[in-house]
Structure 1
Amino acid sequence: MAPGSKAEGRSVSTPDGTTRWLRRLPATLSCLVLALASVTGLLPARALADTYTFVVQPILPPAQTRKAFQPLADYLSRQTGHEIRLVTAVNFLAYWARMKRGDYDLILDAAHFTDWRVKNLGYVVLAKIPDTVSYSLVTAEDTLVLEPSELIGKPVATIGSPSLGAVRLAQMFPNPLRQPVTVEVDNSRDAIEAVLKGRAMGAIVPSPLVGAFPLNVVTTTEPVPHIGFSASPEVPEAVRKALRKALVEADRTPDGQAMLKAINFPRFVAADEKVYDGYAKLLEGIWGY
């Protein structure tokens, strides 16, 4: 038989490793086709999508945070073509520690945190919830307290530091020797419940909650801009633009309106870093500031 011919089930033998090259040819061609499809846009958009972590300040326990804000993450994923993955923090100390390291790509949280990240980590503000928010120091309706000083040495419920409520409470009691006894709770509704059930004499809670419960308002803080949505400088500009567009136009589309109803906010409005300028000072004196 001639050299290289097929006999008795033996494979063809060719010089210089050509057989191995031929065996790899289909896989090589497949890679080339995929690369060409990526460049020419023939692959679905999701095949080229990136994943971005999204966190909301932990005013609720992790499970409740997921339930409350997963609709926003899902909406942004649909609108941008990227995976916006909601992550949670167990409390404000854990949140503060990770936030300072720049661990989160996208964040929805209070004015003091937003300004701190802008100034220290280069985050970009994309949008915010309209208007302002203040906090009220409250007691039970039948507990007549007129001044914060009357609560020195008394139990006062608050979400953990450095939440905006805890920061505002600390401002009311600047003397470290004349403080209330803080009762840390998971969220503002738990703080109100602690007052109504007698576990705390007072609580610091967002002012909009006060009218729904039988409470006595001791004092109300100065308002600050409502929570803002900001992005890490690591998030590409094109993605930031897509996120901003999706947020500020949400109230104009059925998909966006359904999301807003699910997260219980009226709408998002455009915002920039100037809106929050100066509020990082509220964190002065906080561990790690």
Structure 2
Amino acid sequence: MMRLWSIKRVLLAALMLALVQSAGAAKPAAAETLTIGLIPELNVFKQMERFRPLGAYLSRETGVEIRFTILSRYGNLVESFQRDGMDGAFFGSFTGALAIEQLGVVPLARPVNLDGESTYHGVIYARKDSGIRDFADMRDKKFAFVEKATTAGYVYPLAYLRENGVESLDNHFAEYFFAGSHDATIYAVLDGKADLGASKNSVFDWVRAADPRVDAEIEVLALSGNVPSNGLCVRPDLDPGIRERLKQVLLRLHESAEGRKVLERFNALRFIETSVADYAPVYAWAERAGIDLKHYDYENR
């Protein structure tokens, strides 16, 4: 009798499981999820704090769940894009040019910064007490770069150095290293770990506004020309309808009160449309630095 009861319980459990599975199969499919990569422009906590409101807004307005993933390194974004099945990324200007060349990504939109510009430029700076006033004073000093896959944090200063006759960083500087993010590079100089640094002006200005030591202790030595601010690019085979919805939501973000709050958290005024042609200045800086975008080794060595 007990054995018969056990068999009945097993059959009942199997029937209930079948009903649950059948009910689950009848439900509509879950909303599509897009994975968007982020470069480590700021430290991971600041970067996610900046992007989280934008992701929530995009998810609601497009009907597609947006999931951000922050890469540990700039170069990793290009390397990981296909391997990890990313659907898009907010590429920096240089990683964007790399991804256009190597992956065929499609640019959609980029932010207009608080200064009214949709571009940024590179800044080379030094500690005021380092004795560095121009290029001639840089020899045998310590230089902090960001990453080899950044325009302002490496490609521009490399072009600047090449055009001033520097053939080998190892022979010219007492030491150089990669701090990993633009704000970390600034603080490496502020904290005396480096005499010189290079960053993008937008992050330099954010740190400057928050930390009075920047004006007191750092002197700007050189500026690059403008390149496009970090923009959203997507894989070339992304559904055209989803691609268009993403772009239009970004372009109209400033039209609503809620959207303007998101932009405020994002440190931007609005988004504008971006095209491959906008990356022409990046190609020019890469050429001046002696970099072949199709075969560039962006490992920090």
**1:287 matches 2:269:** no
**1:190 matches 2:184:** yes
**1:162 matches 2:149:** yes
Q: Is the 8 A contact 1:111 1:279 kept in 2?
A: yes
> Residue type of the partner of 2:146?
I
**Structure 1 length-normalised TM:** 0.77
Instruction: Name 1:133's counterpart in structure 2.
Output: 120
* Aligned mate of 1:119, from 101, 114, 120: 101
Indicate how the Cα distance of structure 1 residues 202 and 23 shifts in structure 2: closer, same or farther if over 3 A, else same. Answer: closer
1:33 Cα deviation (Å)? Answer: 5.5
1:191 Cα deviation (Å)? Answer: 2.0
User: Gaps spanning 5+ residues in structure 2: where?
Assistant: 1-14, 113-117
Q: Is the 8 A contact 1:192 1:205 kept in 2?
A: yes
1:134 Cα deviation (Å)? Answer: 0.6
Instruction: Name 2:50's counterpart in structure 1.
Output: 68
Q: Is the 8 A contact 2:90 2:230 kept in 1?
A: yes
Instruction: Name 1:245's counterpart in structure 2.
Output: 248
Secondary structure of 1:137's counterpart equals strand
1:202 Cα deviation (Å)? Answer: 0.9
Instruction: Name 1:43's counterpart in structure 2.
Output: none
Instruction: Name 1:276's counterpart in structure 2.
Output: 279
Q: Is the 8 A contact 1:162 1:286 kept in 2?
A: no
Deviations 1:16-61 (A, max 9, x none): xxxxxx9999789858864xxx5xxxxxxxx541111111211123
Instruction: Name 2:10's counterpart in structure 1.
Output: none
1:146 Cα deviation (Å)? Answer: 3.2
**1:172 matches 2:160:** yes
Q: Is the 8 A contact 2:227 2:281 kept in 1?
A: no
Indicate how the Cα distance of structure 1 residues 148 and 104 shifts in structure 2: closer, same or farther if over 3 A, else same. Answer: farther
**1:105 matches 2:65:** no
1:159 Cα deviation (Å)? Answer: 1.3
Indicate how the Cα distance of structure 1 residues 155 and 78 shifts in structure 2: closer, same or farther if over 3 A, else same. Answer: same
1:287 Cα deviation (Å)? Answer: 0.6
Q: Residues of 1 paired with 2:139 and 2:161: CA distance?
A: 8
Q: Is the 8 A contact 1:58 1:95 kept in 2?
A: no
1:66 Cα deviation (Å)? Answer: 1.6
CA RMSD of aligned residues (A): 2.9
Indicate how the Cα distance of structure 1 residues 117 and 30 shifts in structure 2: closer, same or farther if over 3 A, else same. Answer: same
> Residue type of the partner of 1:168?
Y
Identity of aligned residues (%): 21
Deviations 1:223-252 (A, max 9, x none): 112221111123210000100011000000
Secondary structure of 2:222's counterpart equals strand
* Aligned mate of 2:258, from 241, 250, 255: 255
Instruction: Name 1:95's counterpart in structure 2.
Output: 77
Indicate how the Cα distance of structure 1 residues 216 and 242 shifts in structure 2: closer, same or farther if over 3 A, else same. Answer: same
Q: Residues of 2 paired with 1:194 and 1:27: CA distance?
A: 58
Higher mean C-alpha deviation, range 271-280 or range 134-143: 271-280
User: Gaps spanning 5+ residues in structure 1: where?
Assistant: 1-21, 39-46
**Structure 2 length-normalised TM:** 0.75
Higher mean C-alpha deviation, range 60-69 or range 267-276: 60-69
Q: Residues of 2 paired with 1:33 and 1:190: CA distance?
A: 51
> Residue type of the partner of 2:44?
P
Secondary structure of 1:146's counterpart equals coil
**Length, aligned pairs only:** 257
Q: Residues of 1 paired with 2:69 and 2:198: CA distance?
A: 26
Secondary structure of 1:223's counterpart equals strand
Higher mean C-alpha deviation, range 200-209 or range 79-88: 200-209
Secondary structure of 2:72's counterpart equals coil
Indicate how the Cα distance of structure 1 residues 98 and 53 shifts in structure 2: closer, same or farther if over 3 A, else same. Answer: same
Indicate how the Cα distance of structure 1 residues 151 and 117 shifts in structure 2: closer, same or farther if over 3 A, else same. Answer: same
Q: Is the 8 A contact 2:37 2:77 kept in 1?
A: no
Indicate how the Cα distance of structure 1 residues 94 and 113 shifts in structure 2: closer, same or farther if over 3 A, else same. Answer: closer
Q: Is the 8 A contact 1:111 1:280 kept in 2?
A: no
Q: Is the 8 A contact 1:73 1:86 kept in 2?
A: yes
Q: Residues of 2 paired with 1:275 and 1:220: CA distance?
A: 19
Q: Residues of 1 paired with 2:224 and 2:18: CA distance?
A: 71
